């Protein structure tokens, strides 16, 4: 995995108007060094892999801040399974119900020809599809 330097992470946080605390830098280092989909639990485990230094509450508070500031996207697979995606543009996903893994659908692999009429007074802001899969 190619890791961003401390300065690159600080610049990334700054561009999103996020103050660079030690914990935020460490969390962003793990989550944003490459395109990833991670649950809060996976992130907690990886951030604290060598030595526990970030609490579960800090992980959740930081993820909420990152989502609010547009640094990551929240992907809700079901009410009990939320992933945080470091690729922030709208795109589609495969969710493996057996392994719990979320992966990107390749760009351009899914398209839509027609959409139903939108409710009055609304406009489309995006379309994101989660395709659920399991072993055959």
Give the tens place of pLDDT for each residue, 71-118.
Answer: 999 999 988 889 999 999 889 999 999 999 999 999 999 988 888 999
Instruction: Note the pLDDT of residue 2.
Output: 61
Give the tens place of pLDDT for each residue, 3-49.
Answer: 788 899 999 999 999 999 999 999 999 999 888 999 999 999 999 98
Query: b vs e for 98-108, b when ≥16 Cβ sit within 10 Å of the residue's Cβ?
Result: eeeebeeeeee
| Average pLDDT score over residue span 41-68 | 92
Predicted TM-score (pTM) of this structure: 0.81
Nearest-angstrom CA–CA distance, 71 and 20: 13
Q: Enumerate the H helices of the chain as residue ranges.
A: 6-15, 22-32, 40-47, 56-68
């Amino acid at each position: 995995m190619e890791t961003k330097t401390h300065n690159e992470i600080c610049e990334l946080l700054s561009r999103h108007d996020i103050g660079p605390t030690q914990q935020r830098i460490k969390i962003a280092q793990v989550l944003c060094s490459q395109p990833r989909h991670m649950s809060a639990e996976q992130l907690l485990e990886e951030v604290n892999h060598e030595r526990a230094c970030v609490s579960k509450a800090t992980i959740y508070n930081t993820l909420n801040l990152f989502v609010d500031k547009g640094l990551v996207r929240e992907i809700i697979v079901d009410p009990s399974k939320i992933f945080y995606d470091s690729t922030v543009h709208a795109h589609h996903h495969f969710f493996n119900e057996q392994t719990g893994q979320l992966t990107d659908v390749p760009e351009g692999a899914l398209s839509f020809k027609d959409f139903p009429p939108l409710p009055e007074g609304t406009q489309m802001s995006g379309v994101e599809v989660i395709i659920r899969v399991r072993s055959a």
